[in-house]
Structure 1
Amino acid sequence: MKLFPHQDRALDQTYENNRVAYYLDMGLGKTYVGSEKMWELNTPYNLVICQKSKIPDWKEHFEQHYDYEVIIFDKQPIEKIPPESVLIINYDKVWRRPELQKLRDFTMMMDESSMIKNESSNRSKFILKLHASNVILLSGTPTGGKYEELWSQLHLLGWKITKKLFLKQFVIQEWDDRNQKMVITGYKNVERLKAKLREYGAVFMKTEEVFDLPAVNDQLIKIQSTKAYKEFKKHHIIEIEQEELIGDTPAAKKLILRQLAGFYNQHKLQYVKDLIDSTNDRVVIFYNFKREYATLVEMIDRPISTINGDLKDLSAYETQPNSITLIQYQAGAMGLNLQKANKVVYFTLTDKSELFEQSKKRIHRIGQDRPCFYYYLLTDGSIEWRMLEVLKERKDYTDALFEKEEE
């Protein structure tokens, strides 16, 4: 398998390491680097943990480029695992397979390793207890801009620092009188953190260091607000479309404000329709909620492709140059190659930085030869503007890890 020079460079930098993290920007081919490292480590057994949607891609990759026996380990238990094999399992199933605790002499590769950022979750606790001889972590957004979420990955790389000491050395915390708890307000000793990560086999690489990709154009579109949004923001209760919405908790209030700024806002829906009517090009639209999807599908009269928790169908995107591709963040922000399109519309924003940054790379990646346009539809005076500010702040923290050390 012929690798790009930057992929060879990443492997050369970690030749002596049996625990590595390839934090390569989206589109730089982490799959190829990780699988080559796994082949170099040459253990009898191999375990790949990935998102459910990525299982077919990993299976095809190994069958096309290697001689491993590939086993999808997500249904029935396996009595005996054959040597020279690759087990592929998704994050939601892995902790339900206790037989993996008995596995020895194996290499564990984790695609999108940020999935174990919460060390107290079932999946993280289970993975941290596995007896892997070698570890390969893959991610383009390892932290989502939150350094405290690195601890689980650092533990797998072999840095046995306690969570308490890690927070003390790298995280700034202050007491929140209102909520009566410590809250994270920033980070410190970032250069030392970067040095320790590299010491333990982490490689950071940005796309612009490797390839000259087309220009990116961000279009912030101010959408007219609605009477319903303003009324709910003031009173935390409203009846709309024969449904009563009550913001009786901070979480409920935030959710309803996002919905009122989204599919309940007819001005935003009209803008999407006008934008679609203004071009015959492919358009990708990111959304959050099922109601958003249903509303958009009803409004759009062009060929539609869909990626969400219920459906994955890219046939219209592949075959129709004027198709509209609707993607729910959780299901499709990571891993898709959509460079046939050069226009992305953010109907609503996610509150997860890693998904937001990954979503932008679906079209701005190797193979794209046109300028990329991103349309952020933000309801005037709404929560969406603050959400975008937070997403940008988190990106700054993530970018700081990828920055090269000053010589």
Structure 2
Amino acid sequence: MKLFEHQEKVLNATYSYDRVAYYLDMGLGKTYVGSEKMWELNTPYNLVICQKSKIADWKEHFEEHYPDYQVIVFDKQIIERIPEESVLIVNYDKVWRRPELEKLKHFTLMLDESSMIKNEKSNRSKFILSLAAENVILLSGTPTGGKYEELWSQLHLLGWKISKKLFLKQFVVQEWDDLNQQYKITGYKNVDRLKSKLRKYGAVFMKTEEVFDLPPMNDQIVKIKSTKEYRDFAKDHIIEINGEELIGDTATTKKLYLRQLAGVYNQNKLQYVRDLLDSTNDRIIIFYNFKKEYADLVEMIARPIATINGDLKDLTPYEEHENSVTLIQYQAGAMGLNLQKANKIIYFTLTDSSELFEQSKKRINRIGQERPCFYYFLLTQGSIEWRMKEVLEKRKDYTDELFEEEEYERTTSQND
């Protein structure tokens, strides 16, 4: 596995540490840095705790790049004996329900998106803090979300045994709230000293703009788990979902519903968007196709939302809030907009128009853009989306005629 120069630099800077925090911006490759550090630490056992939507990504990453590891997704099964040279993967919501892990010794603990333990009183945080990890690797692009009081749990894992009370006294400004009869946080102090102290405990901070060796445009392919509903419709061309009957009796309707079943009807994809947004406080652009996608995304996102579609054009949140999410419907906003305050685009679903696809990329890759651009393609496994992207990359439209031709070839091949 070949690392980028900035990733090598981070690993070299923390070579002598057995407890580290890699606070790298989204897109700088925390996965690669964290897994390589785990390999260097070389403990008999390894435990990776991550968001549910990232389990498959981590499993595939270790199997591809570290074949000597035995990778075990610790879900519902009971494990009688954990083999050496293994990596256990479990999600944050289940880890505290796995008391077997309290017996684990001589292991490296890695937390992907370590901000998930910001509330030290939650069941997951209390359980993770109680584990007897020999080494610790924390990964996050947003370790605090701008709230330094939420760092305490991570500091504890790094080995800084400062009490919560003393930490708040040294680094947080609090004022008494007469109305609610409690202290409220109004600001922060000694921030440079806090960051300096963190570095002494193995924390590395890196912003995208600090890295100049990356190419200007970076595609990130994200494999999203498929659903039974998609597979059933692909086979039978009819399905009932959420009280709605989808009938693919023509090439047009068949293609339409396959796209929707791979997109908004796939809860795995919506969950991945939620987790992706949790990993950064940067401005994010999301391209989508259908009104139902917009409605479900708006309901899910708890950040300032800008909108460009056939019914509404409001970029005020994009202009005024650094953590805004801008939802753009292709036909309404793929052309002409200047959105270079952002450098990350999520393709929730793909357009079938080559022109709109090419134009959408240019919304952030424009004069005035000083940072590398990242494009996240969320593609449901085994779905129409993979072929769509392949055709779009050739600068061709994915037409009904092309879809019908491919369906015919697929069916003929199956019959043969």
TM-score, normalized by length of structure 1? 0.60
Paired with 1:352 and 1:168, the residues of 2 have a C-alpha distance of 31
- 1:37 matched residue in structure 2: 37
Q: Offset of 1:156 from its aligned partner? A: 0.2
CA RMSD between the two structures: 3.4
Do the aligned residues in 2 keep the contact of 1:73 with 1:87 (CA within 8 Å)?
A: yes
Corresponding residue for residue 81 of structure 1? 82
1:350 paired residue number: 302
Q: Which residue of 1 aligns with 2:267?
A: 311
**2:274 paired with 1:330:** yes
User: What is the CA distance between 1:74 and its match in structure 2?
Assistant: 1.3
Which structure is richer in relative contact order (CA contacts within 8 A, separation 6 or more)? 1
Alignment of 1:351-370 (within 5 A): 351=303, 356=323, 362-363=344-345, 370=362
Map Cα deviations across residues 334-381 of structure 1 (whole Å, 9 max, x no partner).
579xxxx8758884751599x95799775289xx963329xxxxxxxx
1:140 partner SS: coil
Q: Distance between the aligned counterparts of 1:358 and 1:160, measured in 2?
A: 37
Q: Quick one: structure 1 residues 331 and 112, their matched pair in 2 at CA, closer, same or farther if it must change by over 3 Å?
A: closer
Name 2:316's counterpart in structure 1: none
Relative to 1, partners in 2 of residues 1:332 and 1:27: Cα closer, same or farther, differing over 3 Å? Answer: closer
Q: Does 2:18 align with 1:18?
A: yes
Structure 2: stretches of 5+ with no match in the other structure: 218-241, 243-255, 289-293, 306-321, 327-341, 348-359, 366-416
1:47–1:327 CA distance, 2 compared to 1 (3 A): closer
Q: Is the 8 A contact 1:50 1:91 kept in 2?
A: yes
Give the aligned residue type for 1:312: N
Q: For 1:254-403, list aligned pairs within 5 A.
A: 303-304=259-260, 311-313=267-269, 330-334=274-278, 343=287, 347=298, 350-351=302-303, 356=323, 362-363=344-345, 370-372=362-364
CA deviations 1:129-149 (Å, max 9, x no partner) are: 000000000000000111000
Preserved CA contact (<8 Å) 2:24 2:139: yes
CA distance in 2, matches of 1:86, 1:7: 22
- How many aligned positions are there? 270
Aligned counterparts, 1:225-264, within 5 A: none
The equivalent of 2:6 in structure 1 is 6
> What amino acid sits opposite 1:150 in the alignment?
L
Q: Quick one: distance in 2 between partners of 1:205 and 1:29?
A: 11
Distance 2:58 2:265 in 1: 19
Partner of 2:397: none
Does the 8 A contact of 2:343 with 2:364 survive in 1? no
Structure 2 residue 196 is matched with structure 1 residue 191: no
For 1:81 and 1:176, locate their aligned partners in 2 and report how far apart those are by CA, in whole Å.
51
Matching of residues 120-131 of structure 1 within 5 Å: 120-131=121-132
The answer to whether 1:61 aligns with 2:17 is no
Q: TM-score, normalised by structure 2?
A: 0.59
Contact (CA 8 Å) 1:342, 1:370: kept in 2 or not? no
Percent of aligned pairs with the same amino acid: 66
Distance in 1, matches of 2:304 and 2:46, equals 31
- For 1:192, the aligned partner's letter is R
SS in 2 for 1:48: strand
